[in-house]
Amino acid sequence: STRGRVIKCKAAVAWEPRKPFAIEVIEVAPPKAHEVRIKIVASGICRTDDHVLKNTLSVTKFPVILGHEGAGVIESVGEGVVDLKPGDKVIPLFIPQCGECSCCQNPKSNFCLKSDLEKGTGLMSDGTSRFTCKGKLVYHFISTSTFTEYTVVDEISVAKIDDNAPLDKVCLIGCGFSTGYGSAINTAQVEPGSSCAVFGLGGVGLSVVIGCKTAGAKRIIGIDINADKFAKAKELGATECINPKDYTKPIHEVLKEMTDGGVYYSFECVGHVQTMEAALKSCHVGYGTCVIVGVAPSSSKLSFDPMLLFTGRTCKGSAFGGWKSKDSVPKLVCDYLARKFDLDGLVTHTLPFDKINEGFDLLNKGESIRSILMF
Ligand code: COD
Ligand code: ZN
Ligand code: ZN
Protein backbone atom coordinates (compact mmCIF):
# COMPACT_ATOMS: atom_id res chain seq x y z
CA SER A 1 0.00 0.00 0.00
CA THR A 2 0.98 3.62 -0.54
CA ARG A 3 -0.20 4.67 2.94
CA GLY A 4 2.35 6.78 4.81
CA ARG A 5 4.60 7.02 1.74
CA VAL A 6 5.32 9.73 -0.80
CA ILE A 7 3.40 9.07 -4.05
CA LYS A 8 4.99 9.95 -7.39
CA CYS A 9 2.30 10.72 -9.97
CA LYS A 10 1.37 12.94 -12.89
CA ALA A 11 0.06 16.47 -12.40
CA ALA A 12 -0.60 19.51 -14.58
CA VAL A 13 1.76 22.12 -13.19
CA ALA A 14 1.27 25.82 -13.97
CA TRP A 15 4.87 27.04 -13.66
CA GLU A 16 4.08 30.65 -14.47
CA PRO A 17 1.13 32.83 -15.56
CA ARG A 18 -0.11 32.75 -19.18
CA LYS A 19 1.86 29.60 -20.09
CA PRO A 20 0.30 26.22 -20.95
CA PHE A 21 0.21 23.55 -18.25
CA ALA A 22 3.13 21.11 -18.17
CA ILE A 23 2.36 17.48 -17.36
CA GLU A 24 5.04 16.63 -14.81
CA VAL A 25 5.87 13.85 -12.39
CA ILE A 26 5.38 15.31 -8.91
CA GLU A 27 5.79 14.02 -5.36
CA VAL A 28 2.73 14.07 -3.12
CA ALA A 29 3.54 13.77 0.58
CA PRO A 30 1.32 11.67 2.84
CA PRO A 31 -1.51 13.44 4.69
CA LYS A 32 -0.63 14.93 8.08
CA ALA A 33 -3.04 14.99 11.03
CA HIS A 34 -6.58 15.99 10.00
CA GLU A 35 -5.75 15.74 6.29
CA VAL A 36 -6.66 13.21 3.60
CA ARG A 37 -4.96 12.13 0.36
CA ILE A 38 -7.34 11.69 -2.58
CA LYS A 39 -6.93 9.82 -5.87
CA ILE A 40 -8.65 12.17 -8.32
CA VAL A 41 -10.92 10.41 -10.85
CA ALA A 42 -12.48 13.36 -12.72
CA SER A 43 -12.13 17.13 -12.76
CA GLY A 44 -14.08 19.82 -14.59
CA ILE A 45 -12.45 22.92 -16.06
CA CYS A 46 -14.01 26.11 -14.64
CA ARG A 47 -13.41 29.63 -15.94
CA THR A 48 -11.91 30.58 -12.59
CA ASP A 49 -8.94 28.26 -13.24
CA ASP A 50 -8.38 30.18 -16.46
CA HIS A 51 -8.63 33.56 -14.70
CA VAL A 52 -5.97 32.44 -12.26
CA LEU A 53 -3.74 31.10 -15.02
CA LYS A 54 -4.01 34.48 -16.78
CA ASN A 55 -3.28 36.18 -13.45
CA THR A 56 -6.41 38.36 -13.64
CA LEU A 57 -7.32 37.03 -10.18
CA SER A 58 -4.01 37.58 -8.43
CA VAL A 59 -4.74 35.32 -5.46
CA THR A 60 -2.35 32.58 -6.45
CA LYS A 61 1.34 31.88 -6.22
CA PHE A 62 3.26 29.97 -8.87
CA PRO A 63 4.16 27.19 -9.51
CA VAL A 64 0.71 25.90 -8.65
CA ILE A 65 -1.61 22.95 -9.23
CA LEU A 66 -4.97 24.43 -10.20
CA GLY A 67 -8.39 22.74 -10.48
CA HIS A 68 -11.21 22.99 -7.94
CA GLU A 69 -14.10 21.04 -9.52
CA GLY A 70 -13.04 17.45 -8.92
CA ALA A 71 -14.14 14.14 -7.50
CA GLY A 72 -12.16 11.12 -6.38
CA VAL A 73 -11.56 8.35 -3.88
CA ILE A 74 -9.72 8.57 -0.54
CA GLU A 75 -6.32 6.85 -0.74
CA SER A 76 -5.29 7.37 2.89
CA VAL A 77 -6.11 9.54 5.88
CA GLY A 78 -3.95 11.31 8.44
CA GLU A 79 -4.07 10.94 12.20
CA GLY A 80 -7.29 12.03 13.87
CA VAL A 81 -9.51 11.74 10.78
CA VAL A 82 -12.63 9.90 11.92
CA ASP A 83 -15.36 10.57 9.35
CA LEU A 84 -13.45 9.45 6.22
CA LYS A 85 -11.65 6.23 5.28
CA PRO A 86 -9.74 4.82 2.29
CA GLY A 87 -12.10 3.93 -0.56
CA ASP A 88 -14.69 6.63 0.24
CA LYS A 89 -15.89 8.66 -2.74
CA VAL A 90 -15.36 12.36 -2.07
CA ILE A 91 -15.59 15.87 -3.51
CA PRO A 92 -12.98 18.49 -2.45
CA LEU A 93 -14.48 21.77 -1.20
CA PHE A 94 -13.01 25.13 -2.21
CA ILE A 95 -14.93 26.73 0.66
CA PRO A 96 -14.31 24.52 3.70
CA GLN A 97 -16.75 24.10 6.57
CA CYS A 98 -14.77 24.03 9.81
CA GLY A 99 -17.97 24.24 11.85
CA GLU A 100 -16.34 26.45 14.46
CA CYS A 101 -15.72 29.92 13.00
CA SER A 102 -18.25 32.76 13.21
CA CYS A 103 -19.32 32.21 9.57
CA CYS A 104 -19.78 28.45 9.99
CA GLN A 105 -21.81 29.09 13.15
CA ASN A 106 -24.02 31.63 11.41
CA PRO A 107 -26.91 29.86 9.67
CA LYS A 108 -27.13 32.75 7.18
CA SER A 109 -23.57 32.28 5.93
CA ASN A 110 -21.81 29.59 3.94
CA PHE A 111 -18.37 31.18 4.14
CA CYS A 112 -15.66 29.75 6.39
CA LEU A 113 -12.81 31.77 7.87
CA LYS A 114 -10.47 28.83 7.20
CA SER A 115 -11.01 29.37 3.46
CA ASP A 116 -7.99 30.30 1.34
CA LEU A 117 -10.15 32.21 -1.19
CA GLU A 118 -9.32 35.68 0.16
CA LYS A 119 -5.87 35.03 1.60
CA GLY A 120 -4.46 33.01 -1.27
CA THR A 121 -1.62 31.44 0.72
CA GLY A 122 -1.64 28.40 -1.60
CA LEU A 123 -0.85 26.21 1.39
CA MET A 124 -2.53 23.69 3.69
CA SER A 125 -3.96 25.09 6.95
CA ASP A 126 -0.69 24.30 8.73
CA GLY A 127 1.14 26.67 6.36
CA THR A 128 3.00 24.06 4.29
CA SER A 129 2.58 22.35 0.89
CA ARG A 130 2.29 18.60 0.16
CA PHE A 131 3.52 18.97 -3.45
CA THR A 132 7.03 19.12 -4.86
CA CYS A 133 8.31 18.91 -8.43
CA LYS A 134 11.94 18.85 -9.58
CA GLY A 135 13.00 19.79 -6.06
CA LYS A 136 10.73 22.86 -5.91
CA LEU A 137 7.73 23.52 -3.70
CA VAL A 138 4.47 23.61 -5.71
CA TYR A 139 1.52 25.57 -4.28
CA HIS A 140 -2.00 24.32 -3.65
CA PHE A 141 -5.04 26.18 -5.00
CA ILE A 142 -8.04 27.18 -2.82
CA SER A 143 -7.62 24.07 -0.65
CA THR A 144 -8.45 21.71 -3.55
CA SER A 145 -5.89 21.32 -6.46
CA THR A 146 -7.63 18.71 -8.60
CA PHE A 147 -5.47 18.77 -11.79
CA THR A 148 -3.30 15.97 -10.39
CA GLU A 149 -3.62 12.21 -9.99
CA TYR A 150 -3.29 12.64 -6.21
CA THR A 151 -3.99 15.64 -3.99
CA VAL A 152 -3.99 16.30 -0.25
CA VAL A 153 -6.69 18.40 1.42
CA ASP A 154 -7.68 19.30 4.98
CA GLU A 155 -10.53 17.19 6.36
CA ILE A 156 -12.68 20.34 6.61
CA SER A 157 -12.25 20.76 2.82
CA VAL A 158 -13.74 17.47 1.66
CA ALA A 159 -17.21 15.89 1.63
CA LYS A 160 -17.95 12.16 1.56
CA ILE A 161 -20.58 11.34 -1.08
CA ASP A 162 -22.77 8.38 -2.05
CA ASP A 163 -20.93 5.23 -3.22
CA ASN A 164 -23.14 5.08 -6.33
CA ALA A 165 -22.29 8.57 -7.55
CA PRO A 166 -20.78 8.77 -11.09
CA LEU A 167 -17.67 10.83 -10.43
CA ASP A 168 -17.41 12.05 -14.03
CA LYS A 169 -20.69 13.94 -13.51
CA VAL A 170 -20.89 14.84 -9.82
CA CYS A 171 -17.50 16.57 -9.97
CA LEU A 172 -19.55 19.54 -11.27
CA ILE A 173 -21.21 19.72 -7.84
CA GLY A 174 -17.75 20.76 -6.59
CA CYS A 175 -18.13 24.16 -8.27
CA GLY A 176 -20.04 25.22 -11.38
CA PHE A 177 -23.36 23.52 -10.84
CA SER A 178 -23.69 24.27 -7.12
CA THR A 179 -22.51 27.85 -7.56
CA GLY A 180 -25.15 28.65 -10.18
CA TYR A 181 -28.03 26.53 -8.91
CA GLY A 182 -27.59 27.75 -5.31
CA SER A 183 -27.43 31.40 -6.40
CA ALA A 184 -31.01 31.04 -7.66
CA ILE A 185 -32.35 28.72 -4.92
CA ASN A 186 -30.52 30.02 -1.82
CA THR A 187 -29.15 33.49 -2.48
CA ALA A 188 -31.96 35.01 -4.57
CA GLN A 189 -34.66 32.60 -3.38
CA VAL A 190 -36.41 32.88 -6.74
CA GLU A 191 -40.18 32.52 -6.42
CA PRO A 192 -42.72 30.81 -8.68
CA GLY A 193 -44.05 33.15 -11.38
CA SER A 194 -41.12 35.57 -11.18
CA SER A 195 -38.92 36.92 -13.98
CA CYS A 196 -35.16 36.35 -14.08
CA ALA A 197 -32.26 37.63 -16.19
CA VAL A 198 -29.04 35.60 -16.37
CA PHE A 199 -25.94 37.40 -17.69
CA GLY A 200 -23.38 34.91 -19.07
CA LEU A 201 -24.42 31.44 -20.21
CA GLY A 202 -21.34 29.40 -19.33
CA GLY A 203 -21.43 26.47 -16.93
CA VAL A 204 -22.27 28.73 -14.00
CA GLY A 205 -24.93 30.82 -15.77
CA LEU A 206 -26.62 27.71 -17.20
CA SER A 207 -26.75 26.27 -13.68
CA VAL A 208 -28.50 29.49 -12.57
CA VAL A 209 -30.99 28.84 -15.39
CA ILE A 210 -31.59 25.31 -14.02
CA GLY A 211 -32.12 26.78 -10.53
CA CYS A 212 -34.56 29.46 -11.75
CA LYS A 213 -36.54 26.84 -13.63
CA THR A 214 -36.62 24.49 -10.61
CA ALA A 215 -37.88 27.42 -8.49
CA GLY A 216 -40.75 27.97 -10.92
CA ALA A 217 -39.71 31.24 -12.57
CA LYS A 218 -42.09 32.24 -15.38
CA ARG A 219 -39.55 34.06 -17.52
CA ILE A 220 -35.86 33.28 -17.66
CA ILE A 221 -34.00 35.60 -20.01
CA GLY A 222 -30.46 34.56 -20.95
CA ILE A 223 -27.97 37.23 -22.03
CA ASP A 224 -24.71 36.39 -23.80
CA ILE A 225 -22.50 37.96 -26.47
CA ASN A 226 -21.98 34.47 -27.95
CA ALA A 227 -25.25 33.37 -29.59
CA ASP A 228 -23.92 29.80 -29.84
CA LYS A 229 -24.79 29.50 -26.15
CA PHE A 230 -28.53 30.08 -26.70
CA ALA A 231 -29.63 26.60 -27.85
CA LYS A 232 -28.33 24.89 -24.71
CA ALA A 233 -29.75 27.67 -22.49
CA LYS A 234 -33.22 27.15 -23.98
CA GLU A 235 -32.90 23.39 -23.59
CA LEU A 236 -32.17 23.89 -19.88
CA GLY A 237 -35.01 26.35 -19.22
CA ALA A 238 -34.34 29.82 -20.65
CA THR A 239 -37.57 31.18 -22.12
CA GLU A 240 -35.78 33.83 -24.24
CA CYS A 241 -32.17 34.69 -25.07
CA ILE A 242 -30.76 38.03 -26.18
CA ASN A 243 -27.41 39.21 -27.49
CA PRO A 244 -26.29 42.71 -26.41
CA LYS A 245 -24.53 43.03 -29.80
CA ASP A 246 -27.93 43.01 -31.55
CA TYR A 247 -29.01 46.27 -29.90
CA THR A 248 -27.76 49.83 -30.00
CA LYS A 249 -29.31 50.77 -26.66
CA PRO A 250 -27.87 49.50 -23.36
CA ILE A 251 -28.97 45.95 -22.54
CA HIS A 252 -30.62 46.93 -19.23
CA GLU A 253 -32.98 49.19 -21.16
CA VAL A 254 -33.85 46.34 -23.51
CA LEU A 255 -34.58 44.13 -20.50
CA LYS A 256 -36.71 46.82 -18.83
CA GLU A 257 -38.82 47.14 -21.96
CA MET A 258 -39.21 43.38 -22.24
CA THR A 259 -40.34 43.01 -18.60
CA ASP A 260 -42.50 46.05 -17.85
CA GLY A 261 -39.83 47.91 -15.86
CA GLY A 262 -37.29 45.26 -14.93
CA VAL A 263 -36.84 41.72 -13.61
CA TYR A 264 -37.39 40.39 -10.10
CA TYR A 265 -33.99 38.68 -10.10
CA SER A 266 -30.82 39.23 -12.11
CA PHE A 267 -27.61 37.22 -11.95
CA GLU A 268 -24.13 38.24 -13.09
CA CYS A 269 -22.19 35.16 -14.24
CA VAL A 270 -19.59 36.86 -16.46
CA GLY A 271 -17.16 38.49 -14.04
CA HIS A 272 -17.05 42.03 -15.51
CA VAL A 273 -17.95 45.24 -13.67
CA GLN A 274 -19.90 46.45 -16.74
CA THR A 275 -22.23 43.43 -16.65
CA MET A 276 -22.55 43.75 -12.87
CA GLU A 277 -23.81 47.32 -13.28
CA ALA A 278 -26.12 46.25 -16.13
CA ALA A 279 -27.51 43.42 -13.99
CA LEU A 280 -28.29 45.80 -11.13
CA LYS A 281 -29.93 48.32 -13.48
CA SER A 282 -32.06 45.53 -14.98
CA CYS A 283 -33.81 44.92 -11.65
CA HIS A 284 -37.26 46.33 -11.05
CA VAL A 285 -37.48 49.42 -8.83
CA GLY A 286 -38.85 48.67 -5.36
CA TYR A 287 -38.17 44.93 -5.22
CA GLY A 288 -35.60 43.69 -7.75
CA THR A 289 -32.59 41.73 -6.50
CA CYS A 290 -29.24 41.43 -8.28
CA VAL A 291 -26.96 38.53 -7.36
CA ILE A 292 -23.28 38.88 -8.26
CA VAL A 293 -21.73 35.47 -8.88
CA GLY A 294 -18.72 36.47 -10.97
CA VAL A 295 -15.52 37.95 -9.63
CA ALA A 296 -14.07 40.87 -11.57
CA PRO A 297 -10.30 41.20 -12.20
CA SER A 298 -8.35 42.18 -9.07
CA SER A 299 -8.22 45.95 -8.47
CA SER A 300 -11.35 46.71 -10.53
CA LYS A 301 -14.06 48.70 -8.74
CA LEU A 302 -17.81 48.68 -9.12
CA SER A 303 -19.43 52.11 -9.34
CA PHE A 304 -23.12 52.88 -9.71
CA ASP A 305 -25.70 55.47 -8.72
CA PRO A 306 -26.68 54.73 -5.08
CA MET A 307 -30.25 55.79 -5.98
CA LEU A 308 -30.53 52.32 -7.52
CA LEU A 309 -30.39 50.86 -3.99
CA PHE A 310 -32.25 53.70 -2.24
CA THR A 311 -35.24 53.03 -4.47
CA GLY A 312 -35.57 49.47 -3.24
CA ARG A 313 -33.24 47.29 -5.26
CA THR A 314 -30.98 44.79 -3.49
CA CYS A 315 -27.50 43.78 -4.56
CA LYS A 316 -26.00 40.60 -3.07
CA GLY A 317 -22.98 38.42 -3.64
CA SER A 318 -22.87 34.66 -3.62
CA ALA A 319 -19.96 32.20 -3.43
CA PHE A 320 -20.61 28.49 -3.93
CA GLY A 321 -24.30 29.30 -4.23
CA GLY A 322 -24.76 29.88 -0.52
CA TRP A 323 -24.38 26.16 0.27
CA LYS A 324 -22.66 25.22 3.52
CA SER A 325 -20.23 22.97 1.74
CA LYS A 326 -19.65 19.87 3.87
CA ASP A 327 -23.34 19.62 4.84
CA SER A 328 -24.78 20.31 1.39
CA VAL A 329 -22.53 18.58 -1.16
CA PRO A 330 -23.55 15.03 -0.06
CA LYS A 331 -27.23 16.10 -0.26
CA LEU A 332 -26.78 17.62 -3.72
CA VAL A 333 -25.20 14.36 -4.88
CA CYS A 334 -28.24 12.45 -3.52
CA ASP A 335 -30.57 14.90 -5.29
CA TYR A 336 -28.68 14.25 -8.53
CA LEU A 337 -28.99 10.47 -8.03
CA ALA A 338 -32.73 10.99 -7.38
CA ARG A 339 -32.88 12.89 -10.72
CA LYS A 340 -33.99 16.18 -9.16
CA PHE A 341 -31.71 17.94 -11.64
CA ASP A 342 -29.57 17.03 -14.59
CA LEU A 343 -25.82 17.57 -14.89
CA ASP A 344 -25.30 15.76 -18.18
CA GLY A 345 -26.45 18.77 -20.22
CA LEU A 346 -23.56 20.83 -18.86
CA VAL A 347 -20.89 18.38 -20.04
CA THR A 348 -19.87 19.12 -23.63
CA HIS A 349 -16.46 17.41 -23.72
CA THR A 350 -14.68 14.57 -21.94
CA LEU A 351 -10.90 14.42 -22.32
CA PRO A 352 -8.03 12.37 -20.92
CA PHE A 353 -6.24 14.37 -18.22
CA ASP A 354 -3.10 14.94 -20.27
CA LYS A 355 -5.16 16.84 -22.89
CA ILE A 356 -5.80 19.59 -20.31
CA ASN A 357 -4.40 22.34 -22.55
CA GLU A 358 -6.93 21.35 -25.25
CA GLY A 359 -9.66 21.67 -22.63
CA PHE A 360 -8.61 25.25 -21.88
CA ASP A 361 -8.43 26.04 -25.62
CA LEU A 362 -12.05 24.84 -26.01
CA LEU A 363 -13.12 27.11 -23.14
CA ASN A 364 -11.26 30.09 -24.57
CA LYS A 365 -12.74 29.56 -28.03
CA GLY A 366 -16.21 29.59 -26.43
CA GLU A 367 -16.87 26.05 -27.69
CA SER A 368 -17.25 24.21 -24.39
CA ILE A 369 -19.53 24.53 -21.40
CA ARG A 370 -17.77 21.99 -19.25
CA SER A 371 -14.88 19.76 -20.28
CA ILE A 372 -14.35 16.89 -17.86
CA LEU A 373 -10.79 15.62 -17.50
CA MET A 374 -10.61 11.88 -16.79
CA PHE A 375 -7.66 10.44 -14.87
N1 COD B 1 -22.26 40.07 -21.70
C2 COD B 1 -22.87 38.87 -21.66
N3 COD B 1 -22.19 37.69 -21.66
C4 COD B 1 -20.85 37.75 -21.74
C5 COD B 1 -20.15 38.96 -21.78
C6 COD B 1 -20.91 40.17 -21.78
N7 COD B 1 -20.31 41.36 -21.83
N8 COD B 1 -18.82 38.69 -21.85
C9 COD B 1 -18.70 37.36 -21.83
N10 COD B 1 -19.92 36.78 -21.76
C11 COD B 1 -20.28 35.36 -21.72
C12 COD B 1 -19.33 34.43 -22.47
O13 COD B 1 -19.63 34.37 -23.84
C14 COD B 1 -19.59 33.09 -21.76
O15 COD B 1 -20.61 32.35 -22.39
C16 COD B 1 -20.07 33.49 -20.37
O17 COD B 1 -20.21 34.91 -20.38
C18 COD B 1 -19.08 33.10 -19.25
O19 COD B 1 -19.02 31.73 -19.19
P20 COD B 1 -17.67 30.88 -18.99
O21 COD B 1 -17.93 29.51 -19.51
O22 COD B 1 -16.52 31.64 -19.52
O23 COD B 1 -17.49 30.86 -17.40
P24 COD B 1 -18.08 29.99 -16.19
O25 COD B 1 -19.55 29.87 -16.31
O26 COD B 1 -17.27 28.74 -16.03
O27 COD B 1 -17.68 30.94 -14.93
C28 COD B 1 -18.20 32.21 -14.83
C29 COD B 1 -17.76 32.92 -13.53
C30 COD B 1 -18.48 34.24 -13.49
C31 COD B 1 -18.12 32.11 -12.30
C32 COD B 1 -16.21 33.12 -13.53
O33 COD B 1 -15.82 33.80 -14.69
C34 COD B 1 -15.77 33.93 -12.33
O35 COD B 1 -15.94 35.14 -12.24
N36 COD B 1 -15.19 33.26 -11.35
C37 COD B 1 -14.77 33.85 -10.11
C38 COD B 1 -15.79 33.54 -9.06
C39 COD B 1 -15.26 32.53 -8.15
O40 COD B 1 -14.17 32.59 -7.67
N41 COD B 1 -16.05 31.52 -7.90
C42 COD B 1 -15.58 30.45 -7.10
C43 COD B 1 -14.96 29.36 -7.90
S44 COD B 1 -15.60 29.35 -9.48
ZN1 ZN C 1 -15.22 27.27 -10.30
ZN1 ZN D 1 -15.51 27.80 9.42
Asked whether 295 lines ligand 1 (CB < 6 A), one says: yes
Residue 57 has pLDDT above 90, yes or no: no
> What pLDDT, in 10s, does the model give residues 75-131?
999 999 999 999 999 999 999 999 999 999 999 999 999 999 988 999 999 999 999
Alpha carbon of 96 to ligand 3 centroid (Å): 7
What is the CB-side half-sphere exposure of residue 268 using CA atoms within 13 A? 28
- Any ligand 1 atom below 6 A from CB of 225: yes
Q: Give residue 296's Cα distance to chain centre.
A: 14
Q: Report which DSSP code applies to 159.
A: E
How many Cα atoms sit within 13 Å of 260 on the Cβ side?
A: 4
List, for residues 283-327, the tens digit of each pLDDT value: 999 999 999 999 888 778 999 999 999 999 999 998 999 999 999
Local structure of 118: helix, strand or coil: coil
The CA–CA distances, whole Å, from 110 to 67, 269, 294 equal 21, 19, 17
Point out the ligand nearest to the CA of residue 367.
1
The Cα 303–Cα 274 span in angstroms is: 9
Record the pTM: 0.96
**Ligand that comes closest to the CA of residue 321:** 1
Check residue 299 and give its pLDDT. 78
> Does ligand 1 lie within 6 Å of residue 298's CB atom?
no
Q: Is the CB of 36 under 6 A from ligand 1?
A: no
